[in-house]
Amino acid sequence: MLRLEKRPSPSRFWQGMTPVLAVALTMVAGGIMFALLGKNPVEAIRTIFWDPLFNEQFASYSRPQLLVKAGPLILIAIGLSLGFRAGIWNIGAEGQYIMGAILGAGVGLAFYPAEHWFIFPLMVVAGALGGWAWAMIPAILRTRFNTNEILVSLLLVYVAQNLLAAMSLGLLRNPEGGGFPGSRNLSQYPAAANPELMAGTGMHWGVVAAFVAVIAAYVLLQRHILGFHIKLAGQAPRAARFAGVNPKALVVMCMGISGALAGLAGLFEVSGPAGQISIDFNVGYGFTAIIVAFLGRLNPVGILFAGLLMALTYIGGELAQFMLGLPAAAIQAFQGMLLFFLLAVDLLTNYRIRLAVKKEAV
């Protein structure tokens, strides 16, 4: 019989090995799933992880897209990781992402067709405020009425999705669009556009913001008293109170930061790669960023690499759908396996698996 034995302290070896083992197990389980779908599992795994980077037939398109897809994932995951470290569970980043896009795009479209240098900076501020304000709803309800921020933030995603549809069909709809839902194309409005900073690289202001967020989060967690409070609150809540940490202020702070970063991700996406507010603007970045945060061990540097890996599965998954005829649901299940195996093998960080010998009764 097997039993779990609590470790005296978390294993540093398994903390590092857990993401690697989770990726390996995901490949094995994903290969089995692809085989059951009648596809060559080796070819499918190669198409997802190898061809986007090293197959010259696709790399010229795929490599720039790696940064385009990774930027919002990293930006959102950095914000979520701060709250998760403190035991504050913001599951509604998708809604905050949407609200940041709506408010940011709304500010830009309000100035159309003017060409002023301050329009895009104002959109950035509006995007951050949109995400921040949406995150403040579960934060205030948690601190004032002790509600569950997981449920509130998650349910607000569906409210945001309905607001997105309403804006696409109403206030922000393109008056020259022939009645079709969706706003004007911001990428064709220079004052409100977020183009590539270096042609052919995929680098835009959202990617820059993601790298800045990684550096800022690392400094915050390693060198600032707020980072110490965040880690202490997550590891030892009672000790944190004795150390003078205000739990309510920490909830507001962490929810606000994660909401603002998610809102920024939405703004940079709608003004750049997506180009417009539309009914199907949201593509699940807010939910996928949860996987990225845990795959990166809630560490800013780890999140950077996890975001790039998850972006690779997005690009490789699209390529596998086109080249091999894999269904989109299979690719989504493959991405979900990553979180499943990560949480499963993370058990080894705090527990040892022991072989228990059953004693016979005398």
| pLDDT tens-place string over residues 301-325 | 999 999 999 999 999 999 999 889 9
Q: How far apart are CA 19 and CA 309, in angstroms?
A: 11
Q: Which residues contact residue 117 at a Cβ distance below 8 angstroms, ignoring those fewer than 6 apart?
A: 191
Q: 6 phi and psi, to 5 degrees?
A: -65, 130
Q: How far apart are CA 161 and CA 94, in angstroms?
A: 9
Cα–chain center distance at 275? 20
Chain centre distance of CA 215: 17
Q: State the residue for tokens 């590539």.
A: 196
Q: Which of 61-65, 123-127, 198-202 has the highest mean pLDDT?
A: 123-127
Q: What is the mean pLDDT of residues 220-245?
A: 87
At 59 the pLDDT is 80
What CA–CA distance (Å, rounded) separates 267 from 127?
A: 5
Band the pLDDT of 244: cuts 50, 70, 90.
Answer: confident
- At a CB cut-off of 8 Å and minimum separation 6, what does 227 contact? 220, 221
pLDDT for the residue 339: 83
